[in-house]
Amino acid sequence: MVALAGTLMLCSCATPARLIPTPTPTATASPVGPPVAPPAVMALARAFSDQFVAGQYAAQWAELSPQAQATWPSETARADMLAAKFRGVVKAVGLGSPSFQPVWTEPENPAGQIGDVWAVPVQVVFQSPQSLRPAGVAGLFTMTPLEITTGVSPVAEVVSEGPASIDAPIILPRSVRAASVDVPILMYHLVDQIPPRSIEPSTYGWQLEVGLTTLPGEFAQQMAYLVKIHATSISLQHLADALLYALPLPLHSVVITFDDGRLSPWYNAVPLLRNDGFTAVFFPCSGLIGKKVGPQTYLSAADVQELAGSGFSIEDHTFNDARALFGASTSTLNTLTNLTKASLEQLTAAPVQFLAYTGIWPWPLATEGGATEASTFATLAGYGYVGGVLDVRTASDVESTAGLWQLPRVRIGIDTTITGFARWFN
């Protein structure tokens, strides 16, 4: 359970909520885009932006495509969330020149594609950008274009809502409300065959790699189970929307994460995720992108970019996962995290606000951490992060934490049975 009331809790059960259907548009993409956007595109972009500035969120609903509407629990839930997030903080919105995308993929649904989409750059002008938390968040909204289609219906429709999107950058509210949601956060590393003994020079290193391995057949079985129970995978930003702004989540929501940026999930996990319409959060180490270290090969820069633009999200796992963050100096943290965050945002053109901690987390439970790490959390907040995910040693049904900084995950590996996997959703 995740709960906010000055503290945060994560547990495995699921709170009933209306199931959001996974959209499956089947529009045919045009081979070549027209050189100039139709007048209806910019007219809709201006109207939608003016309504956003004025806080007229209900008026925007009819301008959304059916696929965009389906990402929200309801028209009212959307309006309430956006009011809680943006009330009194937006001054104006500027628009840039649109660019054409023959095929566009929904941010949280890699199976959902729409043809003939125009991306309109957005510049949000905030009333007091320096007062917003986390630091630098105002600048992240340049990465959230309005995306408008002319290929699905006779009229232009908004398919991605720019700064109003469900997975737009998180602005932390001045006060944290009491809230709880039940969302397992699954942690994967390798999706591959059991590595050979020669993969590591030490027995301990090899055993660690084996423990972090999920066999492709087992991964397929786990995804089939999620399909069977009509689970909905969400991003960490979407999870934060529920905690911070009271956005209802669909039944059996789950966050799927992959650490390190290893190549095997690209071949053995991503195709299944695409087929099933499940998004996932990838935590690559920026210093390992495109590298081969010993027997391990890592995602290339092009792979990471392709993931970020095709229904998945990219967050930070520091430079090379070789040093514990807690107790590190500010200058060391700057190198291991802040600079890596900036490099990932430059690579993907997408906001990075979450971190997967490196090194050994010193407690078996997230409940046992917090005060000792407060200075590290404060430094990370100054770099623009809003939260971090843990690899706790004890998988508990109920984890209570001190906030978004200590989100516990369920380690999935060679010892995970389908029965053990399913219990997190019972």
Residue 361 located in a structural domain: yes
Q: Which of 103, 133, 164 is the last residue of a domain?
A: 164
Q: Cα separation of 231 and 22, whole Å?
A: 10
Residues 153 and 254 in one domain: no
Q: Is 403 helix (H, G, I), strand (E, B) or coil?
A: coil
Residues 138 and 194 in one domain: no
* CATH code for the domain in which residue 197 is found: 3.20.20.370
The answer to whether the CB of 105 falls within 8 A of the CB of 122 is no
The answer to whether the CB of 351 falls within 8 A of the CB of 171 is no
Residues 110 and 236 in one domain: no
Residue with tokens 């790699």: 209
- Per-residue pLDDT tens listing for the chain (426 residues): 454 433 334 443 333 332 333 444 444 444 554 568 899 999 999 999 999 999 999 999 999 999 999 999 999 999 999 999 999 999 999 999 999 999 999 999 999 999 999 999 999 999 999 999 999 999 999 999 999 998 656 689 999 999 999 999 999 998 877 778 889 999 999 999 987 766 767 777 777 788 889 999 999 999 999 999 999 999 999 999 999 999 999 999 999 999 999 999 999 999 999 999 999 999 999 999 999 987 789 999 999 999 999 999 999 999 998 888 888 899 999 999 999 999 999 999 999 999 999 876 555 666 666 677 888 899 999 999 999 998 877 766 666 565 788 888 999 999 999 999 999 998
**Which is nearest to 256 in space by CA: 275, 242, 273?**
273
Residues 145 and 183 in one domain: no
Residues 142 and 51 in one domain: yes
Chain centroid to CA 107: 9
**Which is nearest to 404 in space by CA: 358, 373, 359, 426?**
373
What's residue 361's pLDDT? 54
Residue 341 located in a structural domain: yes
Strands 292-293 and 99-106: unpaired
Is residue 377 within a helix (H) or strand (E), and if so which, with residue range?
Answer: helix 374-383
Residues 108 and 217 in one domain: no
Residue 91 located in a structural domain: yes
Q: Which of 97, 132, 164 is the last residue of a domain?
A: 164
Number of domains in the chain: 2
Residue 362 located in a structural domain: yes
Residue 190 located in a structural domain: yes
Residues belonging to the chain: 426
What's residue 195's pLDDT? 78
Residues 233 and 367 in one domain: yes
Residues 143 and 292 in one domain: no
Cis peptide before 216 (omega within 30 of 0): no
- Geometric angle at alpha carbon 229, from 226 and 230, rounded to 5°: 80
The answer to whether the CB of 366 falls within 8 A of the CB of 234 is no
The parent domain of residue 405 ranges over 179-425
The answer to whether the CB of 162 falls within 8 A of the CB of 144 is yes
Residue 173 located in a structural domain: no
**What angle, 0 to 180 degrees and rounded to 10, lies between the N-to-C axes of helices 236-245 and 75-86?**
80
Beta bridge partners of 232: 253
Residues 126 and 221 in one domain: no
Residues 146 and 233 in one domain: no
Residue 9 located in a structural domain: no
Q: Is 105 helix (H, G, I), strand (E, B) or coil?
A: strand
Residue 4 located in a structural domain: no
Q: Cα separation of 214 and 293, whole Å?
A: 20
Q: Which of 123, 139, 164 is the last residue of a domain?
A: 164
Beta bridge partners of 375: none
DSSP 15-43: ---PPPPPP--BPPPPSS--SS--HHHHH
What's residue 20's pLDDT? 32
Residues 37 and 139 in one domain: yes
Residues 138 and 281 in one domain: no
